[in-house]
């Protein structure tokens, strides 16, 4: 479908940047440069169906590598000597013009056209956007990038846009019903896409650099702290392993008449009550404990706490890690200098959804992969969140139940959920670690400090096949048959992510005492919306269990993967992600661009 299937009509005005368009398998190639005051302004028209030729049914779909699909390639080159502002350029798609021998009636339906945008570096493609439709994105930017200020050496960015016809189109002969097109009408159809590249000076900045600029070793500005290579709070002169946000988030103050409790909350309203039960505070308006003016009897006993001083809105704790992503509130876990799926080590920002996936979110009840059917969630009513199975496969499943690479929740997050995220081109495919975390045999709690649990998660010693319990071989931390790492886009929090989110005074406390030693109480991840929430890391005890933080704030190491808990998706943004505004507060979250 590449040959003789693309006609390009172009009009380019270029100033500070040079836009060079090289069209692959087109009727002609060209390069045009102008010197007027415009930065970038260009329209490229890509047409299927030359006069008197229909779209070839034999090649309407690309191969698995898209090599048989039509594409054109365009290259943006230039430099930016401005000392303050970057140049932000946007790539947009819209419907193209109608060829002279066609009418709008002959245009193929929007829903049947699909697009993919890739960046090409040394002949290797990196997918930026995939399975796009005109119906979804007509006239919108599908990708943005920045040429930073003081870029005095010329840069080159090469992109390819693929276009194909979706396989769902139904074409029939004669007057058959339930068809999208007859053969005759199909042969007279055309498809046309207009690609626009435009740009302007902007004060948008690199997200990683913006966050790092707020780091202060003495004042812990914005709640941002650094971790050294030993896993402890970094001090001046230390080598920094990563940056994290730690401490209590926006909070409401509750009292039992004698003691006060500052509790992190989500949203802009303080729940009316909280419950002190079995050594753990549970806020009102929790999914597991709907109080809101009730008493602790809703949870089987405890001490009912009241808001102190008639407080109605949370106190701003000064933590600044709120981000708008997918038109939802997300939080920055930190900046991590880790490998992506290609082995490239760069500093990237890691996000976690502020609240778990809601009950209203549409989720298929089962997913079938490789002949195995997985239950995804347990149907509930009257709850705020969906309760997912970490992994609940049918009898055809082979392998360990705590194998994340074959877990039902993993398939859902990296397929259905990922595909429905806006701006998912910003998400980096990362290398995630699947090391088992050590569990106390008596309490079933995760055992160790932040630094110790972090090391366990990243362990790579595979257990011998003869090991049937952790106590037989404590030197291994990958259950026999499981992988030490996994590459993917969407994952879950590590237990250590939760531990490091606590105030730094608790970093040396053992996870076994979880709540009572303050690990959860002074922790922005544990708030009034907290419910039992899955972690990524398997348990070290057997091939069936995984780790979880329960709604009391205890970090449990042994929880059956076939049980249910809430899910807070985790992702890493690519290192070039830009922000255009925001201070990181709840009222003014960081706004991503691109």
Say what the pLDDT of residue 22 is.
28
Say what the pLDDT of residue 6 is.
25
Say what the pLDDT of residue 128 is.
80
DSSP-derived letter for residue 497 is: H
Q: Which of 88-102, 349-363, 465-479, 506-520 has the lowest mean pLDDT?
A: 465-479
Rounded Cα–Cα distance for residues 97 and 114 (Å): 18
Q: Higher confidence at residue 377 or residue 67?
A: 377
Say what the pLDDT of residue 407 is.
98
What is the DSSP track for 168-194?
T--EESTT-SS-SEEHHHHTT-BEEEE
Domain ranges of the chain: 7-203, 251-310, 355-572
Is the pLDDT at 167 greater than 50? The verdict is: yes
DSSP-derived letter for residue 357 is: P
Report the pLDDT averaged over residues 23-49: 32
Rounded Cα–Cα distance for residues 439 and 546 (Å): 10
In this predicted model, what pLDDT tens digit does every residue of 228-267 receive, in sequence order? Answer: 999 999 999 999 999 999 999 999 999 988 989 888 888 8
Nearest CA to 159 out of 202, 183, 129 is that of 129
Instruction: Count other Cβ atoms within 10 Å, centred on residue 184.
Output: 10
Q: How confident is the model at residue 175 (pLDDT cuts 50, 70, 90)?
A: low
Question: Number of helices (H) and strands (E), helices first, in the chain?
Answer: 7, 35
Q: How confident is the model at residue 64 (pLDDT cuts 50, 70, 90)?
A: very low
Question: What dihedral angle (degrees, nearest 10) is formed by the CA atoms of 89, 95, 100, 106?
Answer: 160
What is the DSSP track for 129-150?
EEEE-HHHHTTSEEEEEEE-TT
Map 407-435 to HEC letters: CHHHHHHHHHHHHCCCCHHHECCEEEECC
CB 345 within 8 Å of CB 338: yes
In this predicted model, what pLDDT tens digit does every residue of 315-355 receive, in sequence order? Answer: 999 999 999 999 899 999 999 999 999 898 999 999 999 99
Instruction: Count other Cβ atoms within 10 Å, centred on residue 363.
Output: 15
Nearest CA to 335 out of 217, 207, 145 is that of 207
Does pTM top 0.85 for this prediction?
A: no
Task: Give residues with Cβ within 8 angstroms of 136, minimum separation 6.
Answer: none
Say what the pLDDT of residue 59 is.
32
State the alpha helices, DSSP H only, in 327-479. 408-412, 418-419, 450-457
CB 370 within 8 Å of CB 376: no
* Phi, psi dihedral angles at 304 (to 5 degrees): -75, 130
Is the pLDDT at 556 greater than 80? The verdict is: yes
- What element of type H or E holds 495? helix 495-500
In this predicted model, what pLDDT tens digit does every residue of 127-139 receive, in sequence order? Answer: 787 778 876 665 5
Rounded Cα–Cα distance for residues 493 and 173 (Å): 53
Is the pLDDT at 19 greater than 50? The verdict is: no
In this predicted model, what pLDDT tens digit does every residue of 429-474 receive, in sequence order? Answer: 999 999 999 888 778 899 999 999 999 999 888 888 887 765 545 6
User: Beta strands 181-182 and 171-172: pairing type?
Assistant: parallel
């Amino acid at each position: 479908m590449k040959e003789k299937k693309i006609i390009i009509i172009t009009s380019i005005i270029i100033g500070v940047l040079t836009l060079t368009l090289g069209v692959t398998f087109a009727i002609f190639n060209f390069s045009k440069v102008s010197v007027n005051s415009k930065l970038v302004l260009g329209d490229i028209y890509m047409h299927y169906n030359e006069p008197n030729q229909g779209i070839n049914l034999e090649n309407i779909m690309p191969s698995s590598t898209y090599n048989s699909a039509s594409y054109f390639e365009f290259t943006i080159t230039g430099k930016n000597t401005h000392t303050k502002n970057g140049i932000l350029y946007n790539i947009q798609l819209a419907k193209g013009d109608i060829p002279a021998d066609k009418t709008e009636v002959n245009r193929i339906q929007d829903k049947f056209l699909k697009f993919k945008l890739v960046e090409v570096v040394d002949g290797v493609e990196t997918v930026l956007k995939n399975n796009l439709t005109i119906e979804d994105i007509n006239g919108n930017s599908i990708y943005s990038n920045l040429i930073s200020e003081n870029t005095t050496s010329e840069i080159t960015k090469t992109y390819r846009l693929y276009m194909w016809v979706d396989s769902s189109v139904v074409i029939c002969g004669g007057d058959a019903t339930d068809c999208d097109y007859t053969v005759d009408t199909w042969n007279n159809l055309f498809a046309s896409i207009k690609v626009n590249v435009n740009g302007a000076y902007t004060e948008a900045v690199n997200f990683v650099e913006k966050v790092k600029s707020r780091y202060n070793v003495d004042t812990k500005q914005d709640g941002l702290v650094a971790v050294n290579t030993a896993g402890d709070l970094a001090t001046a002169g230390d080598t920094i392993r990563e940056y994290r946000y730690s401490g209590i988030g926006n909070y409401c103050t509750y009292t039992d008449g004698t003691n006060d409790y500052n509790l992190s909350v989500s949203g802009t309203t303080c729940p009316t009550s909280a419950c002190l039960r079995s050594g753990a505070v549970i806020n009102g308006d929790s999914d597991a404990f709907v109080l809101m003016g009730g008493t602790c009897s809703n949870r089987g006993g405890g001490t009912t706490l009241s808001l102190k001083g008639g407080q109605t809105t949370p106190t701003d704790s000064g933590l600044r890690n709120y981000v708008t992503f997918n038109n939802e509130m997300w939080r920055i876990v930190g900046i991590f200098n880790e490998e992506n799926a290609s082995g490239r080590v760069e500093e990237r920002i890691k996000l976690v959804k502020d609240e778990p996936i809601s009950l209203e979110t549409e989720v298929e009840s089962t997913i079938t992969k490789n002949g195995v059917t997985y239950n995804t969630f347990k149907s509930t009513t009257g709850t705020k969140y969906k309760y997912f199975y970490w992994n609940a496969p049918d009898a055809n499943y082979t392998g360990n139940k705590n194998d994340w690479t074959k877990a039902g929740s993993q398939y859902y997050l990296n397929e259905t959920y990922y595909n429905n995220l806006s701006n998912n081109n910003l998400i980096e495919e990362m290398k995630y670690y699947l090391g088992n975390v050590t569990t106390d045999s008596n309490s079933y709690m995760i055992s160790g400090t932040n630094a110790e649990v972090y090391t366990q998660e990243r362990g790579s010693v595979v257990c011998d096949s003869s090991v049937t319990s952790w106590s037989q071989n404590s030197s291994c931390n990958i259950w026999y048959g499981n992988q030490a790492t996994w590459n993917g886009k969407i994952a879950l929090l590590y237990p250590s992510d939760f531990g490091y989110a606590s105030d730094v005074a608790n970093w040396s406390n053992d996870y076994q005492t979880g709540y009572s030693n303050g690990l959860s109480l002074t922790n922005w991840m544990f708030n009034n919306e907290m419910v039992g929430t899955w972690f990524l890391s398997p348990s070290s005890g057997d091939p069936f269990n995984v780790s979880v933080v329960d709604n009391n704030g205890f970090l449990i190491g042994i929880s059956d993967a076939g049980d249910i808990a809430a899910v807070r998706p985790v992702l890493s943004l690519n290192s070039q992600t830009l922000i255009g505004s925001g201070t990181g507060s709840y009222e003014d979250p960081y706004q991503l661009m691109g």
